[in-house]
Amino acid sequence: MEAQKPYLSVVIPVFNEEENLVELHARLATTLDKAGYAWEVIYTDDGSRDRSWDILERLHQQDPDRVRLVRFNRNYGQHMAVFAGFERVRGEVVATLDADLQNPPEELPNLVAKLEEGYDVVGGWRQSRRDSWLRKLPSYVVNRITSRVVGVDLKDYGCMLRAYRRDVVDAMNACQETSSFIPALANTFARDVVEIPVGHAHRQGGTSKYGLMRLLRLNFDLMTGFSVLPIQMVSLLGSLVAFIGLAFGLFLFIRRLVVGPEVEGLFTLFAILFVFVGLQILGVGLIGEYVGRIYREVRQRPRYIVRETRG
């Protein structure tokens, strides 16, 4: 007998989350059964090196119609894991959720209810975020930059607790970029986007997979993947600096004619020179990011390799 087609598909990327998976799935199943949806969940094992895959296989065996699995041959990153799930969803509504239990699965019905009001994308906003300021500060910077680049002002682009209409997911699946930031990409295809406050808990088991350097890399990838604004800003800043430098040079020339030769301002000139050199290096670095992205796209290598699937 053919299983009922799901209304809601939940995509969950997994990377070394053996301590959280059993509780996560139990809470998820209880919540969605209570909500009355026909649902499925797609877990993507993003190259875990612990017992995560073994646990996921047991969950699939217990409920093979609603628990489906994808396993990568190595770690490709959270967003590639979500894309692998997106390519296999069957529901009309698609939600994403982290496996670390910091985003409560009990919030999913609230997202779906908001989506049913007519929105294309509903994002979660971690109103009382349980992270240190070392995580909050870089995230705040990324959120501001993302809002400016994408043109959709949201408080929390980093929250994985989100819901999408199926046509938005299909549009994202049609994009074969080697790297992409899913919340920002979705907003480029959505007409109506909204945020709602969601709960946030301390991590109960395992360790965070996002450090400062990874957030910085994500930020550079985001800026170069969705806009030429950084290059335009550097060009504008370069023009401004060139004008200031010309004015300062004219001032020094007039001062030399009036006061005569002097060496007291030598260190000031060095400081100004270092500023100019720093801006040049920044500009070259941004150009390098764009060129590197073009290089990755031209090679047309697979975004990820699926080792095996279940269901």
Same domain, 93 and 216: yes
Q: What is the CATH number of the domain that holds 161?
A: 3.90.550.10
Tokens 């349980």: give the residue.
Answer: 130
Please name the residues in contact with 298: beta carbons below 8 A apart, sequence gap of 6 or more.
none
For residue 27, pLDDT over 80 is answered with yes
- Low-confidence winner among 113-122, 224-233, 273-282, 292-301 (lowest mean pLDDT): 224-233
For residue 77, pLDDT over 60 is answered with yes
- The encoded tokens of residue 58 equal 């047991």
What digits encode the pLDDT tens for the residues 31-44?
A: 999 999 899 999 99
Task: From 225, 244, 263, give the residue that closes a domain.
Answer: 225
Strand, helix or coil for residue 291: helix
What digits encode the pLDDT tens for the residues 250-261?
A: 777 787 777 766
Q: How far apart are CA 196 and CA 202, in angstroms?
A: 20
Task: From 225, 243, 269, give the residue that closes a domain.
Answer: 225
Q: How far apart are CA 46 and CA 16, in angstroms?
A: 8
pLDDT at site 180: 78
For residue 172, pLDDT over 80 is answered with yes
pLDDT at site 265: 62
pLDDT at site 154: 80
For residue 128, pLDDT over 60 is answered with yes
For residue 47, pLDDT over 60 is answered with yes
Exposed, middle or buried by CB within 10 Å (0-12, 13-18, 19+), for 219?
middle
- Low-confidence winner among 32-36, 45-49, 151-155 (lowest mean pLDDT): 151-155
Same domain, 210 and 284: no
> Stretch 253-278: mean pLDDT, rounded?
69
Same domain, 259 and 168: no
Domain total in the chain: 2
More confident residue, 279 or 25: 25
> Stretch 65-77: mean pLDDT, rounded?
95
Same domain, 108 and 149: yes
Domain enclosing residue 209, as ranges: 8-225
Same domain, 130 and 216: yes
For residue 121, pLDDT over 90 is answered with yes
Helix residue spans in 116-265 (DSSP H): 133-150, 166-173, 182-189, 212-226, 229-259
310 occurs within a structural domain = no
Same domain, 159 and 72: yes
